[in-house]
Structures are given as C-alpha cells and as structure tokens.
Structure 1
Amino acid sequence: MIDFTNTVEPQRWRATNDGVMGGLSQGGLKFSDEVSVFSGNISLENNGGFSSIYRPVVPLDRGLDAATIEFIGDGLTYQMRVAVAINGYRVSYKHEFETQAGVRQSVTLPLSEFKAVFRGRIIQGAPTLKSEDIRQVGFLVTSKQQGPFALTLFSLKIQPTYKEV
C-alpha cells in the first residue's frame, strides 16, 4: 500500500510534464495539510497538454487483481498508470477514472481492464496486466483544456478482490 498521508511519500515520486515534448504544463506531488496533492497547471501551448507523476514499487505478489485509490478530485478525468517489465521490455498500461470536485471517493480498478499504451495510443494484442510484472505506478492528467488541476491522494492499494460465490 502507498500511504499518501506519510510526509515522506512525495519524495519518492517524480514528475514528467509535457515539457519533454516542448509543452509548458507544470505539475508535481507535494505534501500539504496531512495529505499528498498532485497539482499544477495544464497548458496547451507548444502542443502541450499533460502532467504526470510516477514512482517505482517493489515487486508485487502474484495474483493481485485490482488497484484501489482513495482521493478527492477536482472534476477532471485522471489516469492511473503502471509500467511493467515483460521479457526485458517496458510496457505502460492505463486506466481512466472520473473525479467529482471536492468529494472524497474510492475507486477500484480491475487490472484486467488496464490498456497497454504507447504515447497515448492503445497497443493492440498486448498481454493482460499482471501484478507481479508491475515495476512503477503513477497518475496522469490530460484534460484538453488549459487550467489548474488538483488530485488529493490518500492511498493506493494493489490487492486481490474478494468475490462472493
């Protein structure tokens, strides 16, 4: 579990904004008022339009099948992203989730529904995401609109889901 109420958690995260492609968006993860906040400003200038944060994770157990995120959003759509190592290759997977402005929410995202992507495009025929392959977790916002964003994060758990029989 990643506990975003831990004061040192933001130090484990790195930001990648659209500046890598010439854009002007800014964002990152900071600790404020007992929680971690992924925030910044999206700019569409110079073909920009995204901000992301990521951190490495220790290898996870086999058979975990869902990610649960607890957060307060701003009404924008975000992506949870993971990077995996498969046969020596790095592959990224994403799953979008909606937020309601100012409402504390918890969403559970089945790993089987994450889509493999490369530079925003879906990779057809990619293997299904498996927990034991995950090496990095992150979040991305790309709203196609200029302006501020803020996602207050409380926790991220990758765990088995228990289905009643």
Structure 2
Amino acid sequence: MLYKSLIQAITISTSFLCLSMNAASSSPMKILRDFDKPSGEPAWFAQNDGVMGGVSSGWGEIKEGHLQFSGELSLENNGGFAQIYSRIEQSDLTKYTGVRLRVKGDGRDFQFRIATDARFRGSRIAYRATFPTEADEWTEISIPFSSFVPSFRGNFLNGPPLDLSSIRQIAFLLADGNPGPFSLVVDWIGLEGDENSLPLDAHPEE
C-alpha cells in the first residue's frame, strides 16, 4: 500500500509542479552534461522498482551524442517506476538558479531529481521536479531550483530545503502510473545562473 501511495502522490503532484516550469529562458547557462564523448562521460546507473518487487524495466545509454532513457513501466507487484541516475561531485551550485534541459520525449511527464547529503531515516532524500514532454519533439525546459521538493519513497517531506552546496546525484525518473513502453532522449543538461560562476567538474570519480 505504501508504494501505491507513492505512485498516486507522484501522479497528483505532476500538474502542480509543471506549473512552476518555465519555457527555455535567456539566462546564462553552463553545460553540465552534453553526451558528445561517450567514453568520457560519467556513467548512468539504472534503479527500477525491482528493489521493491516490481517488474518495470529502464536503462540509460549514451548513443549518437544523446542520453537515451527507455524501458517499460509496469504496475505489477505494487511497482511503477523506472530511474537512471549519475553521480556528480560538483560541490557548490549556489551561484546557479536552476536546471535547463533539452529533451525529446513521448508525451509523458518525467521527473528530474537531485540528491544531496541530506538524509531521512538513513537514506538519501530525493529533491524532485516534474516536467512535461511532447511526443517526438525537441523542447527546452527550465526548472528553477525553487521548484524542487524533498521526498522520501514517494512521500513529500517538510524539509530540509535543497542544499545547493552538496549536490551528489542527478537522475531522471518515470512514475506517471501509466504502464507501457517509454522513451526520453536528452541532448544536454545545463545549469542556469551567473555566467561568471565557477567552472564545473563534469567528470567525477565513480
């Protein structure tokens, strides 16, 4: 029942969070990941609902200069999510105001997630924001850091707020409650903010 509430909470939150998204802005931006050199890109790892008995599949692959997140969502066995994540050691993003993505989806709503050193009951808290996609269309999405909300296993938390000085992971997740195949292609991930911000370490140690 906990995981059913997880999926319901994520689905209900989608409309609210999408309202906080802005069309691509003209703010200065630095590229965090551009996927042009697969051999030099930090790895992306799959973490699907099999950790709780589900049977959804999802994986990430860097191909033809893009990150491709695809698989099949299943609600069987109280499952219903697929995720890929990557570690990051850029320790201070306090001079930045948000994330900008260039993506091509399948019309479904995906989540972009950030993990810091913050923990709840011994596990990392996920700071998440939902963004829409248009089927087979490239779009740019700007997500202010103020739109990210803390959650733990699908349940919203009252805090702590997102600490931009201790970013440890970034992730893409699908949990829209609609079973079936999915696809998200990511051209690049950027950071919006001060153009004079410190340079990024885009190749952390694994």
Does TM, scored on the shorter chain, surpass 0.5?
A: yes
More helix by share: 2
Match of 1:131, SS state, is coil
Alpha-carbon separation, structure 2, partners of 1:51 and 1:9:
25
Identity among equivalent pairs (%): 34
Q: Which runs of 5+ in 1 are unaligned?
A: none
Q: For 2:85, which of 46, 50, 54 is the aligned residue?
A: 54
Query: Which has the larger displacement, 88-97 or 72-81?
Result: 88-97
Which of the numbers 120, 126, 133 marks the counterpart of 2:154?
A: 120
Q: Is the 8 A contact 2:96 2:192 kept in 1?
A: yes
Hey, which of these two has a bigger chunk of strand by percent?
1
| Kept in 1: contact 2:42–2:86 (CA 8 A) | no
**Structure 2: runs of 5+ lacking an equivalent:** 1-31, 196-206
Q: What residue in structure 2 maps to residue 22 of structure 1? A: 53
**Which stretches of structure 1, 4 residues or more, deviate above 2 A after TM superposition?**
8-11, 31-34, 60-63, 86-91
Q: What is the match of residue 135 of structure 2? A: 101
CA gap of 1:69–1:161, structure 2 versus 1, over 3 A, is farther
Letter in 1 for 2:132: E
Matching residue of 2:104: 72
Q: What per-residue deviation string (whole Å, max 9, x for no partner) do you get for residues 54-79 of structure 1? A: 11111233221201111101100000
Q: Aligned pair count?
A: 161
Instruction: For 2:50, give the aligned amino acid.
Output: G
Alignment RMSD: 2.1
Render the CA deviation track for 1:65-108: whole Å, top value 9, x for unaligned.
20111110110000000101148973210000000101101111
In the alignment, is the contact (CA less than 8 A) between 1:42 and 1:148 conserved in 2? yes
